């Protein structure tokens, strides 16, 4: 993933932990104070939703069936989704820009 600011070109991949905890779609570059929007790839969104859905479904089924095997499967599904997300980020989305310049909203100028 390309974590550079599209305005000033500084790397935002090593931001402070406090900035990465707050999950917002609109952020400001700490270097140039330019408005940025987080650019999420559709495959990234599908992988997160699918992995979370599979893990939650298996966890609920394990509770209903009182099955430790299903609970283990839920944990494996969550770990597999996290691993697949890392692989997707490093292999397929290498050139995908993480941030785009913020576009003014209609009527908010």
| Backbone angle region of 87, left / alpha / beta, with phi > 0 → left and psi within -120 to 50 → alpha | alpha
Q: Which residues contact 73 (CB under 8 A, 6 or more apart)?
A: 58, 62
Verdict on whether the full-model pTM lies above 0.75: no
pLDDT per residue as tens digits for the range 35-90? 888 888 899 899 999 999 999 999 999 999 999 999 999 999 999 999 998 898 88
Residue, of 108 and 7, whose pLDDT is higher: 7
| Backbone angle region of 33, left / alpha / beta, with phi > 0 → left and psi within -120 to 50 → alpha | left
């Amino acid at each position: 993933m390309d974590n550079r600011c599209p305005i000033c070109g500084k790397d935002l991949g090593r931001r402070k932990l406090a900035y990465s905890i707050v999950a917002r779609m609109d952020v400001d570059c700490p270097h140039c104070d330019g408005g940025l929007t987080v650019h999420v790839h559709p495959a990234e969104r599908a992988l997160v939703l699918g992995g979370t859905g599979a893990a939650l479904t298996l966890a609920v089924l394990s509770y209903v069936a009182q099955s430790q095997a299903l609970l283990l499967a839920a944990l494996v599904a969550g770990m597999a989704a996290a691993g697949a997300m890392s692989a997707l980020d490093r292999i397929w989305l290498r050139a995908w820009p993480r941030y785009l310049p913020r576009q003014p909203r209609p009527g908010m100028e």
